[in-house]
Amino acid sequence: MLDMKFLRENPDVVKDNIKKKFQDEKLPLVDEVIELDKQYRAAKVRGDELRAQRKAKSKLIGGMMAKGDKDGAEAVKAEVNAMGDELAALEVSEDELQKKIREIMLVIPNIIDASVPIGKDDSENVEIERFGDPVVPDFEVPYHVDIMENLCGIDLDSARKTSGNGFYYLSGDIARLHSSILSYARDFMIGRGFTYFIPPFMIRSEVVTGVMSFAEMEGMMYKIEGEDLYLIGTSEHSMIGKFIDTILPEESLPQKLTSYSPCFRKEVGAHGIEERGVYRIHQFEKQEMIVVCKPEESMEYFDVLWKNTVDFFRTLDIPVRTLECCSGDLADLKVKSLDVEAWSPRQQKYFEVGSCSNLGDAQARRLGIRVKDADGKKYFAHTLNNTVVAPPRMLIAFLENNLNEDGSIRIPVALRPYMGGQEVITKK
């Protein structure tokens, strides 16, 4: 959410930013919210005037009564009462205007960083760098579900009966591999100076609207019927929500956190053939990283975060690349975003396994996350997040890149301690 003062003083900048995000339908909102803000500030000024006048006149009544000027006192009382009626109407108007202003400000997109490439959608994202050599083996790589079924590691049919499409049972060494990757990711991030958390898996609506846009919320979140609670789509939601309405001492920054959680998503929309299996699912687990920092440090930590994911995947012998998200592919709260994509030998292309985002002060402004410096000055923090790893989608890249011709799976050295020393997964 933008600062109203900034929007008021820079309407053309805000409109130009909306155009860069190809959301021209939102352009009229800028002038509308400026007019509402003008009305709100005028109501505030008039309200302050009335309160001062009412206070002054109220003091006169006692003196007039003491002097026996009963008629004069009654006349002043009538004036005070009239002011009270006007003030009450103004307060109602202020509340309504404030609500309308917030509703509009929540849908006006954040100002993107100058380095973000301009483009309509993800087809115009820009490749930045590749890490590791993408290899296509000289034998056929089966579909990831077939690989797992050959190792007795997945049961989609039973999951459809219990839960429907988009769910799964993992078993045996594949289930252990799934858990081992998460445990390794936890320790990997702790080793990089991040504090480990397990957060709440449900959050209130005020947190949901604080961490994401309405469009994202509608397409992702599951609501608990009859309660003001939503299942989280990522632990970033509850981890950023942890700081709601707090004032952080500047010396406590940066806050570097890594969190585990199950994640629940609607995944609305049609899915291609390669998105069956465990690519787009309603329930998965994830290790996340979150940073809360000073504004001047957020771009530095943006680079730290995405490099962590690249390094993690490379320790598991998975080639990856980074993509700069273009303006039209950025969610409204994001200042800058970069996707990490893993190589799929079967598809002979990269696919997304993580997304690193700098949200500037948008989440902090919505949730009231402020920082207090040594002089007592308060300002909004910057927040960032990035995926460390999200199995079972990540298992697709892992299995394909570590597949042997006989259908067995190599276990990279870094993961072997978490697999009880096992070096290869074979069919039992």
Average pLDDT, the chain: 93
Of the residues 60, 78, 105, the one at which a domain ends: 105
One domain, residues 40 and 130 = no
Tell me, yes or no, whether 336 and 234 share the same domain.
yes
- Looking at residue 35, its pLDDT comes to 97
Asked whether residue 130 falls in the same domain as residue 164, the answer is yes
Give, as one character, the DSSP assignment of residue 13. Answer: H
Average pLDDT over residues 86-93: 90
Model confidence at 192, in pLDDT bands (50, 70, 90)?
very high
Is 113 contained in some domain?
no
- Domain limits at 100? 4-105
Same domain, 153 and 297: yes
Please tell me whether residues 93 and 198 are part of one structural domain: no
94 in the same domain as 221: no
Tell whether the model's pLDDT for residue 272 goes beyond 60.
Answer: no
E-strand spans in 302-394? 320-324, 336-344, 349-358, 369-372, 378-380, 382-389
Mean pLDDT of 268-287: 73
| 13 is a domain residue | yes
Which residue, 327, 428, 355, 389, is CA-closest to 181?
Answer: 389
In this predicted structure, the answer to whether residue 268 has a pLDDT above a threshold of 90 is no
For residue 270, name the pLDDT band (cuts at 50, 70, 90).
very low
In a domain, 69, yes or no: yes
Neighbours of 284 (CB within 10 A): 22
Q: Lowest-confidence range among 218-227, 269-278, 368-377, 388-397? A: 269-278
154 lies in a domain? yes
Is the residue at 233 inside a domain? yes
Strand order in the sheet with 382-389: 126-131, 320-324, 336-344, 349-358, 382-389, 283-293, 255-264, 195-197
Rounded mean pLDDT of 188-209? Answer: 96
Given 105, 139, 170, the domain boundary residue is 105
Question: What are the pLDDT digits (tens) for 53-75?
Answer: 888 887 787 777 777 788 787 78
CA-to-CA distance for 422 and 404, rounded, in angstroms? 15
Contact criterion met (CB below 8 Å) for 310 and 283: no
Lowest-confidence segment of 185-194, 279-288, 340-349, 409-418 by average pLDDT: 279-288
CATH at residue 236 = 3.30.930.10
Question: Which of the four pLDDT bands, split at 50, 70 and 90, describes residue 3?
Answer: very high
In this predicted structure, the answer to whether residue 274 has a pLDDT above a threshold of 60 is no
Percentage of the residues of the chain whose pLDDT score is greater than 90: 81
Same-domain check for residues 318 and 289? yes
pLDDT at 37: 96
Q: Indicate the SS3 state at residue 212.
A: coil
Looking at residues 42-60, what average pLDDT do you find? Answer: 86
pLDDT the model gives residue 275: 54
Instruction: Give the per-residue pLDDT at 85.
Output: 86
The mean per-residue pLDDT over the stretch 268-283 comes to 68
Residues 98 and 132 occupy one common structural domain? no
Backbone phi and psi for residue 107, each to the nearest 5 degrees, phi listed first: -110, -5
Residues 238 and 265 in one domain: yes
The answer to the question of residue 115 being in a domain is: no
HSE value, Cβ hemisphere, 13 Å, CA-based, for 222: 14
- Give the pLDDT confidence score for residue 267 in this predicted structure: 77
Contact 122, 330 (CB under 8 A): no
Q: Decide which of 63 and 344 is more confident.
A: 344
In a domain, 116, yes or no: no
Last residue of a domain, one of 105, 138, 171: 105
397, 248: one domain: yes
> Are residues 160 and 222 part of one domain?
yes
272 and 197 share a domain? yes
Check whether 273 has a pLDDT greater than 50: no
Q: Is residue 415 part of a domain?
A: yes
pLDDT digits (tens, 9 = 90+) for 125-176: 999 999 999 999 999 999 999 999 999 999 999 999 999 888 999 999 999 9
For the chain, what is the domain count?
A: 2
pLDDT in tens, 213-248: 777 777 789 999 999 999 999 999 999 999 999 999
* Domain CATH code at residue 68: 1.10.287.40
